[in-house]
Amino acid sequence: MTPKPDASCTVCPTSGTGCHSIGSHLTSNLSLFGASKATRSRIRSFRVVTALSALLSLSIAGQLLAAPDSVNGGEYPDNSQDEHFHLTEEQRWAIERRLELQREKMRSQGVFPLPSGMSTAQPEFVWPVVPAAHVDYAGVDAISNYVDNDANFPDQILDYNCGGRSYDLSSGYNHSGIDIFLWPFSWQMMEDNDGEIVAAAPGIIIGKDDGNNDQSCGFGGGSWNAVYVEHGDGSIAWYGHMKKNSLTTKNVGDSVVAGEFLGVVGSSGNSTGPHLHMEVYDASGNLIDPYAGSCNVFNAQSWWKEQPDYYEPAINRLATGTAPPSFNNCPTPATTNFSNTHIAGTSLYMLAFYRDQLNTSSSQLSLVDSTGSTFDNWSFTSSEPHYAASYWFWNYANFTPNRPRGGWTFNNSYNNTDYSHEFFYVDTCDTIETLDSVTVNASQTGYGASNYITTANSVSVTNNADLALVAGNKVVLNNGFSVASGSKARIDLGDVCS
């Protein structure tokens, strides 16, 4: 990243003659690391590169690198397989009857046949769960269950790929849809409206259910919130368990296009946690499994525009924190313990949240300091063949390396994709930091402030010191601030000390 001045980082002379950009006022010994606040404020963002990075060397300039002190984690402890009726027989019958009456009413009103231009061919689905626009991490969902293609029960399970990623019940229920759950921290994600349900194909809204409790943690949750869409060929998709009062403002009888917002992923009705349950029926009311596979007994062709793989290994999120996350009892959101600021002398936790983690794919991880130099790198492979959702955290106890402070990066290359998370490494944290008559002569020093940093009187950086000033809004360097030859000062703006 090429350092560049930013208008919010200013040098304000005490003479009252105004403020000047840092770049025009100080010597080249002062640099801005990613100075744009708009860029730095996206500290939680990820960067995805679709080529596997070359493996990092185990030594940098002859210095042997060691892995973090410990690694812990495993399967998402609250990853329920949602093994219950999504709808009771009474609820299902009532919905089917209501939808049929609504379709008859819409036909009599001329809503059908469908609007001009809407295809009557078999629909081609797009993925029905997407990150909301404000989400700044890589992914929001994972698969827990496919359609059960074995009509026998109990414990006779067969998904479209001849695997066992589904369930049945002794009462005779065979799972009849796709379960897509929010991951990681589903309850917080639901509260923040992070996972949006969109129409998998164009169609007409033929039913909506809303106003029902969305904090369900199991069977007996009552009615769900849902949207029902009929496609051009007469097939119908049910989108269930939505968040209360999150449904589209469009009315029954209105058309939607593929990818159009329908609601927010929730946990209404019979549900063990925030997820979408999507069921599909053809024009004759027969259950459809949208996935083509040798064990699909419902239909021969895929209903996907581009059928997703059976396993889709990926990292949904990287983070840093002060402690491991704590997964609380449903429906209380987890305690993430996330922090984008590391204070020297405390423990540093680096976290990765995987979906469909396989032991055939290894992660190549690294920690890079604010100058772009690699501090550490290591590899990691799960011992289990498959986790639908898993999390791992690596820890350095008393992390105080004698390396430049400022913006560091935690990297993880997994399954041919590179992910990264930025955080700040400083020595102190405050809301406002004022440096008054200070001589910085320690080799590495970093000050952090969630609001701003300012200097007063004589503040000098000497003796080949490397100073980092990291603030949430601005850094003001007044007359009297100086950087001696051989020393450095760097300024970074972003979500620090908050």
Q: What pLDDT sits at residue 10?
A: 34
H and E: helices and strands count for the chain: 4, 31
What gap in Å lies between CA 137 and CA 43, rounded to an integer?
Answer: 10
**Residue ranges covered by each domain of the chain:** 1-65+317-498, 89-288
Domain 89-288 in the same topology as domain 1-65+317-498: no
Q: What pLDDT sits at residue 118?
A: 76
DSSP string, 303-369: -BSSPPPS---EEEEEEEESS--B-PSTTSPPB--B-SEEETTEEEEEEEEEEEEETTS-EEEEEE-
What gap in Å lies between CA 231 and CA 249, rounded to an integer?
Answer: 19
Q: What pLDDT sits at residue 48?
A: 35
| All residues at 6 or more sequence positions from 227 whose CB lies less than 8 Å from its CB, including other chains | 197, 205, 207, 208, 239, 242, 247, 248, 262, 263
Closest alpha carbon to 232 in 269, 278, 201, 191: 201
What gap in Å lies between CA 498 and CA 496, rounded to an integer?
Answer: 5
Q: Exposure of 67 by Cβ count < 10 A (0-12 exposed, 13-18 middle, 19+ buried)?
A: middle
Residue whose entry in the numeric block shows the structure tokens 């589903």: 186
The answer regarding whether domain 89-288 maps to CATH 2.70.70.10 reads yes
Phi, psi angles (nearest 5°) of residue 76: -55, 115
Which residue type is seen at 294?
Answer: S
The answer regarding whether domain 1-65+317-498 maps to CATH 2.60.40.1930 reads yes
Residue whose entry in the numeric block shows the structure tokens 């029960």: 153
What gap in Å lies between CA 178 and CA 146, rounded to an integer?
Answer: 5
CB 44 within 8 A of CB 496: no
Strand-pair partners of 258 = none
Encoding tokens for residue 493? 């703006």
In tens digits, the chain (498 residues) has pLDDT values of 333 333 333 333 233 333 322 332 333 345 444 333 333 333 333 333 322 233 333 333 333 355 799 999 999 976 544 566 788 889 999 999 999 999 889 888 877 666 666 788 999 999 999 999 999 999 999 999 999 999 999 999 999 999 999 999 998 899 999 999 999 999 999 999 999 999 999 999 999 999 999 999 988 878 999 999 999 999 999 999 999 999 999 999 999 999 999 999 999 999 999 999 999 999 999 999 999 999 999 999 999 999 999 999 999 999 999 999 999 999 999 999 999 999 999 999 999 999 999 999 999 999 999 999 999 999 999 999 999 999 999 999 999 999 999 999 999 999 999 999 999 999 999 999 999 999 999 899 999 999 999 999 999 999 999 999 999 999 999 999 999 999 999 999 999 998
Q: Where are the beta strands (DSSP E) in 106-235?
A: 129-131, 141-145, 178-182, 195-198, 203-209, 226-230
DSSP string, 235-251: -EEEEESBPTT-S-SPP
DSSP letter assigned to residue 462: -
- Strands 314-321 and 203-209 turn out to be unpaired
Q: What pLDDT sits at residue 397?
A: 93
CB 446 within 8 A of CB 425: yes
Closest alpha carbon to 471 in 291, 384, 294, 341: 341
CB 238 within 8 A of CB 177: yes
Q: What pLDDT sits at residue 57?
A: 30
What gap in Å lies between CA 432 and CA 423, rounded to an integer?
Answer: 19
What gap in Å lies between CA 109 and CA 340, rounded to an integer?
Answer: 56
